[in-house]
Amino acid sequence: MGNGWLEVVNLEKLVKFSRKVIYYNFDEKNDRLDDESFIEKIDNISNAKDEQEIERLLPYKESEAIFAEFLKRKVSPGSKQKAWFIKEKDYDTILAQLSERMVSNIVRGLVNKGLVESAFDNEKNDFVFWVKANEDKTKEKDK
């Protein structure tokens, strides 16, 4: 197809790989790895605990929906076979959106656990978050 377009041979594998890239990119220990070592680490992960956490923080269906916005289905003129394509520059956008989604899901989890509070700030036109004060510590300070 050319012109910056990449053929997606296996969409499921690409989505799963991209989720792992985002997940392991959050680990500070991985900052020191060169690209090849980082990719090798991702490829060799088969830890059920990590897989469960990835699914909780960045669900496959949510990730697939992000990809869907950028995928184009094309028919090869010669073979008449259908294939998925994505623009190379859009893949960077997808990774950024996956990262934002994961952060959002982490914060939502903290809010649901009651560890962080949130409210909508009309002036900023965005949500604001703060750490919930520990009621026991607040009561002790008031004494």
For residue 57, what is the enclosing H or E element?
A: helix 48-57
Q: Determine the 3-state secondary structure of 143 from DSSP.
A: coil
Q: Report residue 2's pLDDT band, with 50, 70 and 90 as the boundaries.
A: low
Per-residue pLDDT for 14 more than 80? Answer: yes
Least confident of 6-10, 15-19, 26-30, 67-71: 26-30
pLDDT of residue 140: 52
Q: Report residue 67's pLDDT band, with 50, 70 and 90 as the boundaries.
A: very high
Domain ranges of the chain: 5-105
Please give the Cα distance from 107 to 113 (Å, whole number).
Answer: 10
Question: Over the chain, what is the mean pLDDT?
Answer: 84
- Residue 130, number of CB atoms within 10 A of its CB: 9
Per-residue pLDDT for 139 more than 60? Answer: no
pLDDT of residue 16: 93
Reported as a single tens digit per residue, the pLDDT across 15-62 is: 999 999 898 888 777 677 777 877 887 777 667 788 888 999 999 999
The structure's pTM equals 0.76
